[in-house]
């Protein structure tokens, strides 16, 4: 499935701050909040709705509510910074968690935590991870998520590498990807270049 790259000016502004090595942790978090908000709006343009009656101060009319619920699935820990801005847009969304750690030698992800309750009336899920690099974490997350949610899924990320996109499309061609930019590629250590560094360390102030 083709990747949708955000063309909104606010995405470009946020990405500039995310990439800037001099940005503080707080500035990085603020920029990630802005970017996640715009990406979520784009990813939810076809959100299914049901009509409902609404009484205004003057008359009765028809409004709309979501048909089913939305699940947000941040990939720990970097994806946590993308949760709150989307919850502001959709306060009734559920938040599920999948924790993955990447082995820096093999570059393979290992799951260390998962909290995926009964999906119930979930209409769709948004997987949140600032970086789609090798694609290993994304594929592992989607493999696990699809065991409880076979419905529509989209992946939201700040930046993506061509290698990660190819791997994701090969394993999960039905998953839509919304990103701020597609970068040149990966280093020999599996980091996106030009990239933005380690998104988890930068947003939580743990970079060495």
pLDDT-derived band at 150, boundaries 50, 70, 90:
confident
Q: Quick one: three-class SS letters along 62-128?
A: EEEEECCEEEEEEEECHHHHHHHHHHHHCCCCEECEEEEEECCCCCCEEEEEEECCCCCCEEEEEEE
Residue position matching structure tokens 């360390």: 201
Tens digit of each residue's pLDDT (9 = 90 or more) over 87-120: 999 999 989 888 777 666 665 667 666 777 666 6
Residues with active-site annotation: 102, 106, 198, 201
pTM above 0.85, yes or no: yes
Which domains, from first to last, does the chain contain?
A: 3-204 (3.40.50.2020)
pLDDT-derived band at 66, boundaries 50, 70, 90:
confident
pLDDT-derived band at 148, boundaries 50, 70, 90:
confident
């Amino acid at each position: 499935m083709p990747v949708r790259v955000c063309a909104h000016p606010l995405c470009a502004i946020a990405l500039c701050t995310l990439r800037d090595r001099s940005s503080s942790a707080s500035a990085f978090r603020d920029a990630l909040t802005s970017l996640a908000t715009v990406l979520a709006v784009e990813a939810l343009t076809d959100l299914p709705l049901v009509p409902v009656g609404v009484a205004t101060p003057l008359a009765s009319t028809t409004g709309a509510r979501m048909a089913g619920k939305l699940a947000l699935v941040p990939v720990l820990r970097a994806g946590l910074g993308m949760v709150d801005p989307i919850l502001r847009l959709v306060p009734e969304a559920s938040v599920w968690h999948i924790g993955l750690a990447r082995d820096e030698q093999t570059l393979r992800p290992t799951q260390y935590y998962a909290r995926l309750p009964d999906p119930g009336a979930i209409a769709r899920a948004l997987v949140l991870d600032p970086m789609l690099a090798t694609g290993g974490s994304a594929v592992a997350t989607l493999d696990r998520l699809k065991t409880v949610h076979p419905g529509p899924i989209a992946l939201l990320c700040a930046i993506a590498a061509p290698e990660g996109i190819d791997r994701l499309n090969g394993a999960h061609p039905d998953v839509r990807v919304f990103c701020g930019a597609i970068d040149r590629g990966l280093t020999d250590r599996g980091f996106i270049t030009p990239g933005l560094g380690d998104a988890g360390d930068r947003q939580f102030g743990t970079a060495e």
